[in-house]
A and B are shown apart, each in its own frame.
Chain A
Amino acid sequence: MRRPFTPRRERKFIGKYRPRIDGLEKASGRAVYADDFANKTRFPDMLYAKVLHSPHPHARIKNLDVAQAERLPGVAAVLTYLDPEVARLKPTSAGWTDGVDTVSYERMMWKRFRDRRVLGDTAHWVGDDLGVVVAAETEAVAEEALRLVKVEWEILPFVLDPLKAMEPGAPLVHPEVSANNVLPADPVGGADVFLTKGDVDQGFAHAEVVAEATSVYHNATQGSLDSWCCLVKWDDDKLTCWSNSYEADQSRMHISQMLDLPINKVRVISPFVGGQFGRGDTGEQPFFLFTALLAKRTGRPVKFKHTRRESFHDSRQPAIYHGKAGALRDGTITSLRFKSIGNAGAYSDHTMFALKFAPAEVAEVAFAHIPNLKMESYGVYTNMLPACMMRGVGNSQLNLVLGHVVDVLAEKLGMDPIDLVVKNFGHQWAAPPDKSLSAVLAEGARRIGWAEKRHAPGRGPARLGTYKSGVGFSFHPGWHAEWQEGRRGRIQVGVRLNPDGTVMLEAPTVEIGTGSNTCNVLGCAEALGFLGVTPADISFSNTVDTDTGLKDTVQTDSAVSFLQSEALAVAALELKRKVLEAAAPELKAEPEDLEAADGWIFAKGAPQVKRRLTEVLWQGDLAPIAVTVSRAPSGEKTGVPFQANFAEVEVDTGTGQVRIVKLVIVNDCGTVMYPSGAEGQQIGGQCMSVGESLTEEIVYDPVTGIPLNFNWIDYPIPTMADIPDIEPVLLEVWRGAGEYGACGIGEGVLTCTPRAIANAIYNAVGVRVDDMPFKPEKILAALGQGGRRP
């Protein structure tokens, strides 16, 4: 039995450990996902679409001969880049559809980087889809048809290494966007030096101790089990698209604008989705559209689904980060500088979000008390898999170097790094020490046994001669407090009260596993406390359908659970007003003289004479009482909470193998909305990060540019046998705005883990390995060189 978290304030439903609302539906196999829906037994006349993938890292189609493919029995349609309905599609950017709010083509975030063609003629990485797509009676026939397509390629020079891509004369990946492969400055991300404060050079000159560090983050992939899938069907001039996209309203906008259809002629439905983790940078851009065009041409429903190999279509952005920190002898940091080079891969997508926007946000909420600051970044095109959005976007890469430079500086100062962190970091709305930061670090230190287990680097006792243990930590500001969610636009929810006291809740958001659905129902029951409802009285649909009206709150930024609950708190006030109004005639009273609590209605100040609310409503008009709220997140600045991860590792200095003994993850949540879900996120994030830190890596053949391990045998994802003891800790120290003052944690939970592990490795063996993943050969090489890396 583990220790449950203690809520700051006892509530009826919020903050309670309980099963998920979709637990039984999922555990019994009844939950329907897009791939289950797009099934021959439901759509006997369904066709299967398959698209051509480039075998070359950089090449242009000179000529395409599809005659043989068209003649293959079972082929219903062949569509190529030369067909007019394809050729007229506008150039676009995947960043458009991987967003937080519904935006139009004209207002998409990365207007300067519209570097994608839907079914274009040029490939920018091995695996890029382009040129031709077929629809056939079976998947096998569709694949065979693609093999029969004769492609004449113009092979172009390619580049994989971002440093080489920046050199003069390097092959240009998107000359239409950049003449040197470096993404130009843009209005959202800013210039190359995107943040300056004070004078860093003077700050370093003033410093008594200076530390420098370089960390290299790699290209792990999201690995959602539920591969991208859609089914498109036309009924006359109306298109319906079932898919496993995590955003419905934006998908509708995307399809509407790209295919020139009125919004009401596009219906997007997302049933259960088997994992998200940030995938979305590629894929839905082309395939919704070409699947729709194939369905139009054939007059039949068409399904498109990625194979596992095709599902390797996006990764975390690899980044080389350099950090430098200067401090006075007492540990006061005087100057801090970061410079990064990110490998955007073949398409820019949200690169500037990862490299500039997210780090700038961190600077605002964590580096506010450091007088001199400079942050500089370069996003570079290469002919690799496009890379950007993955759980913890941009923050993970920055944290790897932040925790690194802090650890090096603390050692040089002879300080405990926890003390160094508490002394210097925090947001501008409170002077250090930050309460939240101090609390997460103290709690994590206690749970891992920091004081007892930490020792001078490499100087701990060895087990069986070669096994050496160590501990490490890293910290990061939480993000997605409500004021940071302004970009989302309005959050829409609806509540309908039936005359028997049951409730229809409409809080649309695609169910990708985060637990926000359970949170919604708990939040609704909590807010409707005056009705005396329980979660069992509330109906909630896990399927999002744009034809039902309200905009879905997009499943990004880990913020859906509290954003919708905050809107529900507002809706509840309005509903209560309407309920009292409806009950007033039956009670022969004025609404303002009435009060309701726990399902009873009574005259204000006289709760002893009361009637059942449902009994009163039953006597009146039986139409449901409905409320809809459309509310932008509160802009009230409240600072942010912090999180910390602590790791204990054991390194076999004979083999270089790292075994993680224990991970502790501490999150200050403001309010823990749904602890079972939050702990699930905390533990799950560590599992993902264990893979990312130790084994997961996409490997390329540098000579051909071909990725070598697009499968789950050679790209090893941890299973139950690989996972250490993980202790999730939830705190409520900081408080945001609104009824709950909560924040999102789902993404952040894995931000600090790699650095905590890397620092623990250093503490264990006394040499640093700072490029991920921390594989045995790197550890051995570092040990062999006494810590000096080549």
Chain B
Amino acid sequence: MAKARGAAGKAGGRRASGQPERIKIRVNGVWHEFAACAEGAGVEASETLSHLLRERLGLTGLKLSCDEGACGACTVILDGKAVLSCMTLAVEADGRSVLTIEGLPKDDPVIRAFAQQCEPGYGTALQCGYCTPGFVMASRALLDENPAPTPDEIKDGLSGNICRCGCYAGIARAVWHASRQDASSPKADGVLRSPEGASRKTGGAR
């Protein structure tokens, strides 16, 4: 039932001839360089973006729950598009911009709305909180693409994420509230979400 979000599209910044020796990824606005395919500590071709972000950079906001593209807990934004970082190879992010939840401003309307949801009848937007960073990033990408989604569009846009606590009603409500706050506040961070990314569909083929 989980609608799988696509892995990253074509990787940018690669050399035309074979594997690069180093890869560069811009994470939350800062470029990071990694040795690629080297012996020992280098980024291997099979290393996922989620692993690189968590284990090399310590960005543990994204969660690894299913590690196979079914739950959305590892969602990050790559060049403006929500992707599953467990289904994206680190080398695919070469030359590209990654936004993790740590890179969102503290007062991002999506974060605020998830934190504050308590409108009677819908419950909270989070309980255990494990799926929350993935939902927040998926919601951020959704609102960047569609600033005023209808309830059905919210449902569709977030149906690649699993919340086992079942806070779907609260989440949908929070995203709706965030979309109203977004409209009245300037985008806090226009750099990392590229214009072409913003116009792409977030949904993808399984």
Contact = CB atoms under 8 A, between A and B. Distances in A.
Interface of A: 1-5, 17-20, 22-33, 35-36, 39-42, 223-227, 272-277, 307-308, 512-515, 675-677, 679-688, 695, 711-713, 716-723, 726-728
Nearest to B108: A28
Nearest to A140: B46
Contact of A29 (B116, B120, B121, B136): B136
B131 interface: yes
Contact of B101 (A24, A28, A683, A720): A28
B71 A225 contact: yes
Given A19-B118, A27-B126, A226 B65 contact: yes
B128 A272 contact: yes
Contacts of B43: none
A684 B166 contact: yes
B8 interface: no
21 contacts: A23-B116, A29-B136, A41-B57, A224-B128, A226-B65, A274-B65, A274-B130, A513-B128, A676-B118, A677-B127, A680-B123, A680-B124, A683-B167, A684-B123, A684-B166, A716-B1, A716-B2, A719-B158, A720-B158, A720-B159, A720-B172
B21 interface: no
B114 interface: yes
A33 B63 contact: yes
Interface string B122-151: 111111111111001000000000000000
A4 B121 CA distance: 6
Given A27-B114, A712-B71, A679 B128 contact: no
B63 A35 contact: yes
Contact of B170 (A18, A512, A680, A722): A680
A233 B99 CA distance: 33
A752 B124 CA distance: 22
Given A3-B121, A711-B68, A719 B1 contact: yes
B42 to A, nearest CB: 13
B127 A2 contact: no
B160 interface: yes
Q: Which label, helix, strand, loop or mixed, suits the secondary structure of the A interface?
A: loop
Contacts of B129: 22, 25-27, 31, 272, 274, 513
Contacts of B104: 28
Contact of A721 (B63, B119, B156): B156
B120 A2 contact: yes
B133 A29 contact: yes
A687 B165 CA distance: 8
Max chain B CB contacts within 10 Å: which of A23, A29, A35, A675?
A29
A682 B123 CA distance: 8
B68 A275 contact: no
B63, B158, B170 pick with most chain A CB within 10 angstroms: B63
Nearest to B161: A719
B67 interface: yes
B122 A2 contact: yes
B130 A680 contact: no
Nearest to B121: A2
A597 to B, nearest CB: 28
A5 B61 CA distance: 35
Chain B contact residues, majority secondary structure: loop
Of the candidates A28, A515, A711, A716, the one having the most CB atoms from chain B within 10 angstroms of its own CB is A28
A682 B121 CA distance: 10
Closest CB pairs A-B (n = 9): A2-B121, A687-B166, A274-B130, A29-B61, A513-B128, A680-B123, A26-B129, A684-B166, A29-B101
A586 to B, nearest CB: 41
A675 B118 CA distance: 9
B61 A686 contact: no
Contacts of B121: 1-4, 679, 727-728
B120 A683 contact: no
Contacts of B167: 680, 683-684
A515 B70 contact: no
A274 B134 CA distance: 13
Nearest to A686: B166
B131 A721 contact: no
B68 A713 contact: yes
Contacts of A227: 65
Given A29-B102, A29-B133, A3 B127 contact: no
B203 to A, nearest CB: 11
Nearest to B101: A29
A514 B119 CA distance: 18
A721 B117 CA distance: 20
Nearest to B174: A27
B49 interface: no
A36 B60 contact: yes
B63 A683 contact: no
A605 B12 CA distance: 78
B58 interface: yes
A679 B54 CA distance: 34
B188 interface: no
Nearest to B120: A4
Contacts of A31: 129
B143 to A, nearest CB: 15
Contacts of B163: 687, 720
Contact of A223 (B56, B124, B126, B164): B164
Nearest to A515: B127
Contacts of B56: 40-41
Contacts of A41: 55-58
B106 interface: yes
Contacts of A682: 123
Contacts of B124: 19-20, 23, 515, 676-677, 680
A712 to B, nearest CB: 4
A684 B165 contact: yes
B64 interface: yes
B130 A712 contact: no
Given A4-B120, A27-B132, A677-B124, A721 B166 contact: no
Q: Which of A25, A515, A720 has the largest count of B CB atoms less than 10 A from its CB?
A: A720
B127 A513 contact: yes
Nearest to A273: B128
Contacts of B61: 28-30
Contacts of A713: 2, 68, 70
A44 to B, nearest CB: 11
Nearest to B103: A29
Given A24-B111, A681-B123, A728-B123, A718 B1 contact: yes
A307 B60 CA distance: 17
Contacts of B2: 712-713, 716-717, 719
A684 B3 CA distance: 20
A29 B68 CA distance: 21
Given A225-B71, A225-B128, A712-B66, 10 more contacts: A27-B125, A40-B56, A513-B129, A680-B127, A681-B123, A686-B166, A687-B166, A716-B2, A717-B162, A720-B161
Contact of A225 (B58, B68, B122, B130): B130
B73 interface: yes
Contact of B130 (A33, A686, A687): A33
A276 B2 CA distance: 21
Counting chain B CB atoms within 10 Å of each CB, the highest count among A17, A23, A30, A227 belongs to: A23
B171 interface: yes
A609 B154 CA distance: 58
Contacts of B45: none
A444 to B, nearest CB: 15
Nearest to A695: B1
A27 B171 CA distance: 11
A708 to B, nearest CB: 15
Contacts of A275: 127-128, 130, 164-165
B168 interface: yes
Contacts of B162: 225, 712, 717, 719
